[in-house]
Amino acid sequence: MHLATCRTGKVFILYDADSVCDAESVPQIGPSLFDPHKWHHTDRVVGQAPGRGSSLFLDAGGEQWVLRAYRRGGLAARVSTTRYLWTGLERTRAFRELRLTAHLHEQGLPVPRPVAACVTRHGPTYSAALITVRIPTAHALVERLNAAAPALLEEVGTTVRRFHEAGLDHVDLNARNLLVDDDDKVWLIDLDRCRLRPPGAWREANLERLGRSLAKFDRAEAMAAIRRGYVKVS
């Protein structure tokens, strides 16, 4: 994976040169790559994900992409749902998430392959969006909970432990950010605000957050099998 950057006026783009380019080809790097209206206009929106921001699934030719705009929630959304304080390009949420995702992807960990991140500066604030490759046949763990076999739940725990061993503190580990494909492979998505850290109490905090998510969907008992898988990793 070769990450490169380009700038068009107030728009900054970090991208994987193996996925997009600045030549006369499709898909072509540029601000329009992140424009939902362009994708709708060309009938290349094939669906969208639930949740804040409604990520779009895009037909990118040989694969599908996920376009996600960064949106605020909670009290901050009363000020702005799309603007964040500018403190430097490399500190923007989009650039940090893409670089972290690329790092984990290159280590062979099950994360979506990153495509590009876009940051548009608006004086003291910025807005941003991210594109990743959509994982074929994958669905959120929450959709599999009612029929999930113990072996699958243990695989969830094993996967979480692999990320922990790599140092990833996932600040929003929940049953929607864990995906399962048709081969029962477990994937981790949405690395916004996540970071790499040395071992510490944050690992247990991640697991407890996942446990609260399972309880929200009336499957708190599934956490026992997940923890079994977690401790199996040597």
| Intervals of the chain under pLDDT 50 | 23-24, 77
Provide the annotated active-site residues: 172
Domains of the chain, residue spans: 3-133, 139-232
The predicted structure's pLDDT at residue 155: 98
CB-neighbour burial class of residue 24 (10 A; exposed 0-12, middle 13-18, buried 19+): exposed
- Name the pTM for this structure: 0.92
pLDDT in tens, 67-117: 999 998 655 545 668 899 999 999 999 999 999 999 999 999 999 999 999
- Residue 23, pLDDT score: 46
Hunting for tokens 């049953």 — which residue is that? 175
Q: Cα–chain-centroid distance for residue 30?
A: 21
Please state which CATH class domain 139-232 belongs to. Answer: mainly alpha
